[in-house]
Copies of this chain bind each other. A is one copy, B any other.
Amino acid sequence: MSSTARNTTRERLEAKDSAILDAAEGIFAQAGFDGAKIADIARAASVAEGTVYLYYKNKRDLLAGVIGRFWSQLTLGAEAAINKEAGTLDQLEQFGRYHLQSILNQFDLVSLTYRAQPQQAQDLDQVREYVKVFDRIMKQGVDRGELPPHTPIGHLRDVFFGTLEFSSRTLKLRGRPYDHSVVTNLLSLIVAPDQVTPARLEATTPSNQDLMQKLESIQRQLKQLPSAK
The closest CB in chain B to the CB of A166 belongs to B162
A191 engages B197 (CB within 8 Å): yes
B213 engages A221 (CB within 8 Å): no
Chain A window 100-127, contacts with chain B (Cβ cutoff 8 Å), 1 for yes, 0 for no = 0000000010011011110001001000
Within 8 Å of chain B (Cβ to Cβ): is A208? yes
**A: number of interface residues (CB 8 Å):** 79
Within 8 Å of chain B (Cβ to Cβ): is A72? no
Majority secondary structure of chain A interface residues (helix, strand, loop or mixed): helix
In-complex Cβ contact of A197 among B167, B188, B219 (8 A): B188
B189 engages A190 (CB within 8 Å): yes
A228-B228 contact given A114-B111, A148-B216, A208-B205, CB 8 Å threshold: no
Within 8 Å of chain B (Cβ to Cβ): is A214? yes
The segment from A11-19, A37-45, A152-160 that touches chain B is A152-160
The segment from A2-10, A48-56, A74-82, A178-186 that touches chain B is A178-186
Q: A155-B185, A188-B198, A188-B200 are in contact. List 16 more A-B contacts (CB 8 A).
A: A34-B34, A112-B116, A154-B170, A159-B189, A162-B167, A187-B199, A188-B197, A188-B199, A189-B190, A193-B201, A201-B209, A205-B208, A206-B212, A211-B211, A218-B219, A218-B222
